[in-house]
Amino acid sequence: MSGQSTYVPKNALAKWFEARLPIGGLMHSSFIAYPTPRNLNYMWTFGGILSFMLGAQILTGIVLAMHYTPESSLAFNSVEHIMRDVNGGWLLRYLHLNGASLFFAAAYIHTARGLYYGSYKSPREVLWLLGIIILLLMMATAFMGYVLPWGQMSFWGATVITNLFSAIPIVGDTIVTYLWGGYAVGNPTLNRFYSLHYLLPFVIAGVVALHVWALHVAGQNNPTGIDVKSSKDTVPFTPYATVKDALGLVVFLLVYCWFVFYEPNILGDADNYIQANPLKTPPHIVPEWYFLPFYAILRSMPDIFFIPAKLAGVMAMFGAILMLALVPWLDTSRVRSARFRPLYRPFFWVLILVCIGLGYIGAKEVTPGRIVVGQILTAYYYVHFLVILPLLGLIETPNDMPNSISESVLGGNATAVPAGAHAAPERKG
């Protein structure tokens, strides 16, 4: 779909360059002329928002790194030094800290959008898998970033999570020793996490490039889930998608700035303003909110036959993400969009509620009652993907679908589109 470049270099230099590296044509066909379905709703603005957030995290992160000291006895105070003595340092740090939260919020909405509209189905499986890889890399990055300020939650969160790897049979202890760079979380751990925290966002950027490439090969899905059939179904990316994305981004920034300027610490844990103390375990160790559902799944697992609870927990936690990765093959329905799937729709919302419920359980201290609730929710999560999703496609009768995207927008009146609507903006590009 990215093939039809209508780009014409405007001056001699651009022409010379284009003949040697046609990057102008690539940009033009990807972000100007690129045909996007005309019926995209605001759920489709999160891709642009995520790209923006990755850029924002990298920019603020690079400047923070100029002032931050990755040494266990100095790290905590170096962050306070950034907050107090570096010009605009408090802003950089609050942008970065809340940026991570907002980045995850956007990523979860983006993923849920995919689940709702069946964006993972053929021919977009690779696109979807690349997205899951990005999610995993984000988790690793944020986890290691949270360790850097070296507060109590940084230290004890790192201790709890890295310890999990010791559950892996045979190689577990060796892996943990390599993660720690010693026999406990300490200065070597901080150093290697810092190094990786700096590296991984650029790996993410690389996978994002593949993600966008795959997107432009398969084309965007849309709220009806119906394939694009003719040029009547699409509009050029610029200006249509660009203005819509810009509006979505500005509204998103309002929320982001609300947190940064008015309640920069409300999403975090007060304990992380206490310097790490290896001798004093906090009464209640909790990860950042975006990890809570996974944390709940981790803590829900009992001993299962010969598998100890810890290993079972780790498997269940990573399995939860594996389920997402397998969705393209677990969903048997031929219909993409939940809009035309009367049975899938309620189950989708139940799944969202279950994830929120897991997040709640993950945030609370364990009690016998909460363990049972956590186990039920965890079981349901798996049942959704392994039983409900495959079955639904077999028993569900989809609703009537429109013949094309333009018919769904214009109510069977597709021929009434003014022909100039698509052609005009392309001339401008």
- The residues binding other proteins (CB under 8 A) are 38, 77, 80-81, 83-84, 90-91, 94, 235, 239-240, 243-244, 246-247, 250-251, 253-254, 257-258, 260-266, 269-271, 273-275, 283, 360, 364, 367, 409, 416-418, 420-421, 424
Q: Which is nearer to ligand HEM, 203 or 343 (CB)?
A: 203
Shortest spacing between CB 148 and other proteins, in angstroms: 16
Site for ligand HEM in 98-117 (CB under 6 A): 100, 103
Q: Which is nearer to ligand HEM, 148 or 286 (CB)?
A: 148
What is the C-alpha to C-alpha distance for residues 115 and 125, in angstroms, rounded to an integer? 12
Shortest spacing between CB 84 and other proteins, in angstroms: 6
Question: Does residue 89 touch ligand HEM according to CB under 6 A?
Answer: no
The label of the residue with tokens 């980045």 reads 103
Bridge partners for 307 per DSSP: 304
C-beta of residue 45 within 8 angstroms of C-beta of residue 248: yes
Q: Which is nearer to other proteins, 83 or 196 (CB)?
A: 83
Shortest spacing between CB 98 and ligand HEM, in angstroms: 9
Question: What are the contacts of 287-291 at 24+ separation with CB within 8 A?
Answer: 287/143, 287/146, 287/157, 287/161, 287/362, 288/100, 288/101, 288/142, 288/146, 289/101, 289/359, 289/363, 290/100, 290/101, 290/104, 290/105, 290/108, 290/142, 291/139, 291/143, 291/362
145, 223, 287, 374: which one binds ligand HEM (CB under 6 A):
145
Shortest spacing between CB 273 and other proteins, in angstroms: 4
Query: What is the CB neighbour count within 10 angstroms for residue 230?
Result: 10
Q: Which is nearer to ligand HEM, 267 or 376 (CB)?
A: 267
32, 49, 86, 97: which one binds ligand HEM (CB under 6 A):
97
Shortest spacing between CB 156 and ligand HEM, in angstroms: 14
DSSP β-ladder status, 35-37 and 234-236: antiparallel
Shortest spacing between CB 68 and other proteins, in angstroms: 15
In the structure encoding, which two tokens stand for residue 278, read together? 């290896």
C-beta of residue 342 within 8 angstroms of C-beta of residue 401: no
Residue 229 DSSP SS3: coil
CA quadruple 285, 288, 289, 294: dihedral positive or negative? negative
Q: Which is nearer to ligand HEM, 93 or 232 (CB)?
A: 93
Only segment of 3-11, 91-99, 240-248, 413-421 that touches ligand HEM (CB under 6 A): 91-99
What is the per-residue binding string for ligand HEM in 30-59, x denoting contact by CB under 6 A? ------------------------x--xx-
Q: Which is nearer to other proteins, 241 or 311 (CB)?
A: 241
Question: Does residue 64 touch ligand HEM according to CB under 6 A?
Answer: yes
Establish how many alpha carbons lie within 13 A of residue 319's alpha carbon, considering only the half-sphere containing its beta carbon.
16
Q: Which is nearer to ligand HEM, 104 or 180 (CB)?
A: 104
For residue 238, the 8-state DSSP code is: I
Q: Which is nearer to other proteins, 199 or 421 (CB)?
A: 421
What is the per-residue binding string for ligand HEM in 208-227, x denoting contact by CB under 6 A? --------------------
What is the per-residue binding string for ligand HEM in 123-142, x denoting contact by CB under 6 A? ---------------x--xx
Site residue total, ligand HEM (CB under 6 A): 25
**Interacting partner of 366 out of other proteins, ligand HEM, none (Cβ under 5 to 8 A depending on kind):** none
**Which class for 341: exposed (0-12), middle (13-18), buried (19 or more C-beta within 10 A)?**
buried
What is the C-alpha to C-alpha distance for residues 39 and 413, in angstroms, rounded to an integer? 15
Length of the chain: 429
Shortest spacing between CB 202 and ligand HEM, in angstroms: 7
**Interacting partner of 417 out of ligand HEM, other proteins, none (Cβ under 5 to 8 A depending on kind):** other proteins
C-beta of residue 127 within 8 angstroms of C-beta of residue 110: no
62, 366, 391, 423: which one binds ligand HEM (CB under 6 A):
62
What is the C-alpha to C-alpha distance for residues 180 and 191, in angstroms, rounded to an integer? 10
Bridge partners for 35 per DSSP: 236
Q: Which residues of 17-54 are buried (b: 16+ CB within 10 A; e: fewer)?
A: ebeeeeebbeebbbebbbbbbbbbeebbbbbbbbbbbb
Contacts to ligand HEM by CB under 6 A: 54, 57-58, 61-62, 64-65, 68, 79, 93, 96-97, 100, 103, 138, 141-142, 145-146, 148-149, 197-198, 201, 204
